[in-house]
Amino acid sequence: MKRYLASHVASLPPSGIRKFFDLVATMKDVISLGVGEPDFVTPWTVRESGIFSLEQGQTMYTSNAGLLELREELSHHLTCSLGLSYDPMNEILITAGASEAVDLVMRAVLNPGDVVLVPDPSYVSYAPCAILAGASVRYVPTHAKEDFRLRVENLNQVYTPKVKLLVLSYPNNPTGAIMHREDLVPIADFAAKHDLLVLADDIYSDLTYDGRHVSFASLPGMHDRTLFVSGFSKSYAMTGWRIGYVAGHSDLISGLTKIHQYTMLCAPIMGQIAALEALRSASEAKADMVIAYDRRRRLMVHGFQQMGLDCFEPLGAFYVFPDISKTNLSSEAFAEELLKEEKVAVVPGTAFGPSGEGYIRCSYAYSTEQLQEALIRISHFVKRRLSKV
Amino acid sequence: MLTEEDHKLLKLIAEDCRLTPVELSIQTGLTSEYIKNRIIDWEKEKVIVGYRPMINWARTGEEKVSALIEVRVLPQRGYGFDRIAKRLQKFPEIKALLLMSGGYDLSLLIEGKTMQDVALFVAEKLAPLEHIQSTATHFVLRRYKQDGVELMGEEETIQRLVVSP
């Protein structure tokens, strides 16, 4: 039946993660460091508000843009936390997770033939969404020696006049890299010079370990040039609720809303009510999670360094991205052999783009005990491999 | 006032006091020497007053009875409730002693092997004390949560995908 698939869908390569997921699923007693979601359960007060909303019979559609109360609270939150200013009436759209927001941005702004610049490595959905929107993608390599930060020199190397959109995803999945204000300023100049629109995926903005996150949209002149995407999944451990949002100039948001109203209609009401509660009452729970991630982050970096592997110190998100090239194995071979020999699942860096070769992504959204056990197993594997080199 | 780093360190120790200074150092980024000295200071200052495991005695099958006792006390001139509290805290049967606002003055958590033990303690030791006006004993029937730990039921098993982007 494959003949019925549209050619641009049929030619889309399957996710590198999916392939690995299938392999892991066949094995037992695996310790997985492959998960890109928090190990915490949504804070109780947030869950309780969702339950209460059902008890009250709040099971209807909301407006396309989402509950006004949530947009108002969100607007206030973005001002307080990131210094951003968005009108809740027409500059914020609540989506079914940040993933929908990414898709909407691509579909709303890209014409066939447009080019999107995507940092490499980065989250898996930007390139496929751009391709499905008829655009093409140019990867912008980032390197460990530059703390995996996006540099204008690297942007210049891949720039063509057809570039319309630049993706910024910091703190970054999979590297854990962040961008400081001084790193963002030249990018803003680059975007202004070439009149680019920027999709800033700030989904991990609350999970930083070296001061407060600086949002690209907060830089002078960048408010209207940026579509700010984020959500509740990572900050409040709410992945399954599917609540994200996108904020930007009202002309752009109204374009995105057109697609959203015909395809999604609205984000789930129970999730929206829970998200509102999260903004109002879960900041302490969020801060506790950040403290826990920070401890685990240090534990993981120390663990890999003890094994003799270079491990860039991640300052955001909940991943470490150690360099495994000393073992003379490709990322994929490392991940597969580690899984078979020590039953630890990690994700090959290449699942996140070609620059991920030589790295593996390990999530530390696990208990300290699980992480310690995983580190012991990985160290056995690495020791054996290094002795062969 | 604690610094942010000391706050994080103390919180980590409060969660798991078995961690060694080296392990604490890895997880906090502070040096193990600093951590050792800080712990010694906190012990001296009675910020850290003990290191004990939390035991759910109900699971051991061992008989143990607890009661919360509301006590009304006649405050003493110049001492308020402190003098009687100082005396009460010496009794080993009293595991917690709190001065309360509201309808009564002191709240006591008593532990004994049997209900008889607790009743005898109240009747023979506590109630006859000078300045104690009245007591009301409430026996604990079941503990659902203790020191922030949920004691009831099985651990929630969270079904996450094994690999996700």
Strands A226-231 and A163-168: unpaired
Interchain CB distance below 8 Å, A37 and B27: no
**Percent of chain A, pLDDT > 70?**
100
Residues A40, A60, A230: CA angle, nearest 5 degrees? 40
Q: Any idea where the domains of chain A sit in the sequence? A: 2-41+284-388, 44-281
**Which tens digits make up the pLDDT trace of A123-180?**
999 999 999 999 999 999 999 999 999 999 999 999 999 999 999 999 999 999 999 9
Question: Is residue B11 less than 8 Å (CB to CB) from chain A?
Answer: yes
Residues of chain A positioned with their CB less than 8 A from the CB of B161: 21, 35, 37
**Which tens digits make up the pLDDT trace of B14-31?**
999 999 999 999 999 999
Interchain CB distance below 8 Å, A21 and B156: no
- Residues of chain B short of pLDDT 70, as ranges, are 153-158
Question: Is residue B4 less than 8 Å (CB to CB) from chain A?
Answer: no
Question: Is residue B159 less than 8 Å (CB to CB) from chain A?
Answer: no
- In angstroms, how far is the first alpha carbon of chain B from the final one? 42
Interchain CB distance below 8 Å, A30 and B165: no
Question: Is residue A259 less than 8 Å (CB to CB) from chain B?
Answer: no
> Is the CATH number 3.40.640.10 carried by domain A44-281?
yes
Question: Which pLDDT score is estimated for B155?
Answer: 59
**Which tens digits make up the pLDDT trace of A96-121?**
999 999 999 999 999 999 999 999 99
Residues of chain A positioned with their CB less than 8 A from the CB of B156: 41
* Count of A-B CB contacts under 8 Å: 55
Position A170: which residue type?
Y
Question: Is residue A345 less than 8 Å (CB to CB) from chain B?
Answer: yes
Q: Quick check: do A2-41+284-388 and A44-281 share a fold?
A: no
Record: fold of A2-41+284-388 = Aspartate Aminotransferase, domain 1 (3.90.1150)
Interchain CB distance below 8 Å, A125 and B165: yes
- Residues of chain A short of pLDDT 70, as ranges, are none
Instruction: Find all residues with CB under 8 Å of A86, minimum gap 6, and list them.
Output: A74, A75, A78, A92, A228, A247, A248
Domains by residue range for chain B, with CATH: 4-44 (1.10.10), 57-141 (3.30.70.920)
Instruction: Find all residues with CB under 8 Å of A244, minimum gap 6, and list them.
Output: A94, A95, A96, A97, A98, A99, A100, A101, A203, A229, A230, A231, A232, A233, A267
Q: Compare all CA atoms of chain A with the CA of B15 and give the residue at the minimum distance.
A: A292
**Which tens digits make up the pLDDT trace of A58-78?**
999 999 999 999 999 999 999
Complete DSSP assignment for A147-196: TT---HHHHHHH--TTEEEEEE--SPTTT-----HHHHHHHHHHHHHTT-
DSSP reduced 3-state for A279: helix
Q: What is this structure's pTM?
A: 0.89
* Pair of tokens at residue B85: 């509290």
Residues of chain B positioned with their CB less than 8 A from the CB of A291: 8, 11
Question: Which pLDDT score is estimated for A24?
Answer: 85
Task: Please provide the average confidence, as pLDDT, over all residues in chain A.
Answer: 96
